[in-house]
Structure 1
C-alpha cells in the first residue's frame, strides 16, 4: 500500500467529503462539512497562501493538513501546519509525509517559525517532538449535553438588547468591528492585526457553518458590545466559534448573557450537543463554560519549530 500526498481538489465532491470525514474522525470536537472545507480553501486571503493537503492510500483519504502563512501578523515569517490522520489509519507514514510536504511549501514562502496544534496524547506529542517541535501553550475542548438542564434565560439589564447576527444582515460591519475588538487580546502565539473587512466578509460572515439565527449579539445603546458566535453542521451539533466582549463593556456579564441566549436558541432549534474551546489559561471563560455545564473532553498543545 502506497501513501501519496496531494492538494485537495475543491471541485471534486469526494475530496471534500473525504477531508471532512477524516477531520471529524480525528478531531470530533470541531465541526466540519464538505461545504466548509471548500469554502475555507476558496475564500482564504491570497496572502495566506492557504492550502489543504490530503494523504491518500489506495484512493482513500486517510490524512489531512491545513497550511498557511500568518500574513496578518506584524511579525513576518510565521506559519502554521495542522495535521490530522484518521485514528484507524495511523502508522502508515501519512503524518510524516504531510508534515514534510507542508514544511517544504511553507519554507519556500519564507516561513521560518512553524506552529502546529497537536492533541495531548502520548503518540501525537511524541511525533511532534521527534520532528523537532517544542511545546508551547495549550487549550481545552469542552462538551455540553444540550438535552440536559441549562441555566434559565435572563432578562437583559436596562440599556441592553439581545439580537441575532441575522438582524445585521443588511450591514454586518458593526459585528465585524466587535469581532475585531473582542479578538484583539485573545490568547495566541501569533499576534494578528484584524483590519480587513472584505476578507472578514468572505472568510467569516459567509462561512457555511455560521448560523446567524443562533448567534446572539448583546447591544448596548445601539452598539454591539458582546456576542456568542454559533456554528452548526446541519445536524444536531452546535459549536461556539467565538464568545467575546469589547474591552470597554467587560465586567458586566454580557458574554455570559449572550452565550446563554445562544445555547437556548440552539436547543430550541434541535441541537443536542454543544462544543467549545478555551485556552487553558483563560480561567474566566473556563469558569463561565463550567457554569453552563460544559465538561472538558480533550486537550491540545500548540507546538512550534524553527525552520531552516
Structure 2
C-alpha cells in the first residue's frame, strides 16, 4: 500500500478529528477545532497541517510549525499522529520527514516532538535522531462517578467567583492573566504572550473554549486565578490552562477555580475530565491528585537539532 503526504483540505476535518481521537483519546478535538486552527494560524508560525493518506484513506496527521511566541529563535515543533490500526506502515516516518523538510526551509534550528512514553514510540523517535528532554502526564477524572469537593459555604473577604463569559465585552484582563501564568509554565519552548490580537484570534476565539465553564477568581475585583475549560460539546472536558497570578499564589485559589469549573461541567453533562501537566509542575500535579485525577498516559518531549 502506498502512503502519500499532502496538506490539509477543509473536507478532511472530520477524518483528522477521528484520527486524533483514536491516537490520543485523552485529548479533546472536534472537526470544527481542526478547521479553526488551520484558518486562524498566524503567518509567523509557518503552520502546516499535514495529512497522510493510504489508498485514499486518511490514516495520519501532523501539526507542524515555528514557535513564534518563543523568545528563542529557531525553535519549532512537529507532532505526527497515526491511527493505531495503521501504524508500522510508513505513515509516521513520512509525515515526520515532510515536516522536517518544511521546518528546515523556514530556518528552524531545533524541532520538538511529543512522543508517548512507550517503547515503540520512543524507539521511533530515537531512530530518527531525536533525544528525550522532559515528560508530561495525561490525567483523567471520572466526573460522572467520582466525588467532587464542595464549594466553601462562604468565600474569604474580597474573593469572588465569576466565569470567563463575564469578560466577553473586554477580554483583556483574561489576556493579561494568561500571559503571566503562561510565562511561568515549565517547558522546553517558552511562550511570551505579548500580542493581544493574536491571543484573541487563537486562544479566546478557540471553538473548544467554553466561557461559561471557565471559572475566574477575583480578589478585590482583579483577576487572581482562573481555569480555562475546553469541551467537545458532548461529554469530554479538558483543562486548557489553570493558573494563579504570582501575587496570589499559596492561598488555594487554583483549587477554588477548578472546583467551581468541574462542578459546572458535571452539571452541564460532562462525564470525563482530562488534563496534562509537565512532570516538573509539582503544584498542579498535587492539586489534580487532590481532586482524584489519575495518570492515564505519559508523553516525553524529544528534540532534534538540525545541522
Q: Shorter-chain TM-score category?
A: over 0.9
Aligned length: 305
1:61 to 58, 61, 76: 58
> Where do 1:112-131 residues align within 5 Å?
112-131=109-128
Corresponding position of 2:149: 151
RMSD value, Cα: 0.8
Residues 106-163 of structure 1: CA deviation (Å, up to 9, x unaligned): 0000001010000111100000000000000000000000012111122421101000
Distance in 2 between the 1:288 and 1:234 partners?
25
In structure 2, the partner of 1:43 is 40
Gaps of 5+ in 2: none
Measure the CA separation in 2 of the matches of 1:273 and 1:210.
16
Residue correspondence of structure 1 range 7-156 to structure 2 within 5 A:
7-10=7-10, 12=11, 15-147=12-144, 148-154=146-152, 155-156=154-155
| Residues 219-258 of structure 1 mapped to structure 2, 5 A cutoff | 219-258=218-257
Q: Are 2:18 and 1:2 equivalent residues in the alignment?
A: no
Q: Distance in 2 between matches of 1:157 and 1:29?
A: 35
1:76, CA displacement in angstroms?
0.9
SS in 1 for 2:72: coil
- Structure 1 distance, partners of 2:278, 2:86, is 29
Length-normalised TM-score, structure 1: 0.98
TM-score of the aligned structures, taking structure 2 as reference length: 0.98
Contact 2:182 2:191 in 1 (8 A): no
**How many Å separate the matches in 1 of 2:155 and 2:45?**
40
TM superposition shift of 1:191: 2.0
Alpha-carbon distance in 2 for matches of 1:74, 1:271: 37
Asked if 2 retains the 8 angstrom alpha-carbon contact of 1:156 and 1:257, the reply is no
1: CA distance between counterparts of 2:240 and 2:147? 22
